[in-house]
Structure 1
Amino acid sequence: MEQTENKLDISIANEGKNIAMIAYITIIGLIIAFVMNNEKKNEFARFHIKQSLGLALTGLALGIIGMIPILGWIINILGIFVLLYMWIVGLMNAINGKQNTVPFLGDKYVEWFKNL
């Protein structure tokens, strides 16, 4: 029974892998992935769309914080490096067919976007 479930999970991940990878390619890719996943629902792709949306909103928040002189600039620069690391981990998870959350805020993204 477990082998059947594993094969099912693997096939779901393989079907959604392209959509999941597209989700991590800029905001335009996120929108395209969202539209593509609306046509044919895939849980793997949906998970990575949520993670990518969280990363995009985190980047937006960093941009707003970066407008604050001196302290905001420092937080923005450090935050961009952390965000880049999170983005690379998320993209690598999508490429490898893994449904792992991105470091630091990934669990929060799942919680915040559970109805998406």
Structure 2
Amino acid sequence: MNEIQKRPDRDAEENMGLGIVAYILFFVPLLAAKDSAFARHHANQGLLLLLLVIAVNVIGNIPLIGWLLYPVGMLLVLALFVVGIVNATQKTKKSLPIIGGINLIK
């Protein structure tokens, strides 16, 4: 067990910046901090947010229904984006509401 795994508070302290970057480019923390549970958690949340953006855009292209749901979906994405960045800056591993329970990156 390495030192980062022994001290999760230090992990969050050292990788807070990568946690924030994860919501813009989810794969960067996976490359820069392979052993960090904090960075992996936020990379997972960033990936889920990216998949939600893709789904909202696909649904948004459906005539009528999609045109009505698209603005609501993008507001949801924006709110989740802000929540994720706030969680990373507070050095917590809280999951995003609604989509955060899914674990794609182990």
TM-score band (shorter)? 0.7 to 0.9
> How many residues are paired up?
101
1:74 aligns with one of 56, 64, 68: 68
Gaps of 5+ in 2: 1-5
Measure how far apart 1:114 and its partner are: 4.7
State the SS of the aligned residue for 1:50: helix
For residues 44 and 19 of structure 2, what CA distance do their matches in structure 1 show? 10
Measure how far apart 1:49 and its partner are: 0.2
Map 1:73-112 onto structure 2 (within 5 A).
Answer: 73-107=67-101, 109-110=102-103
State the SS of the aligned residue for 1:84: helix
Gaps of 5+ in 1: 1-6
| Letter in structure 2 aligned against 1:48 | H
Name the residue aligned to 2:31: 35
| Letter in structure 2 aligned against 1:77 | P
Measure how far apart 1:30 and its partner are: 2.1
State the SS of the aligned residue for 2:33: helix
Q: TM-score, normalised by structure 1?
A: 0.80
Q: Is 1:9 aligned to 2:8, yes or no?
A: yes
- Give the number of the structure whose residues are more often helix, by fraction: 1
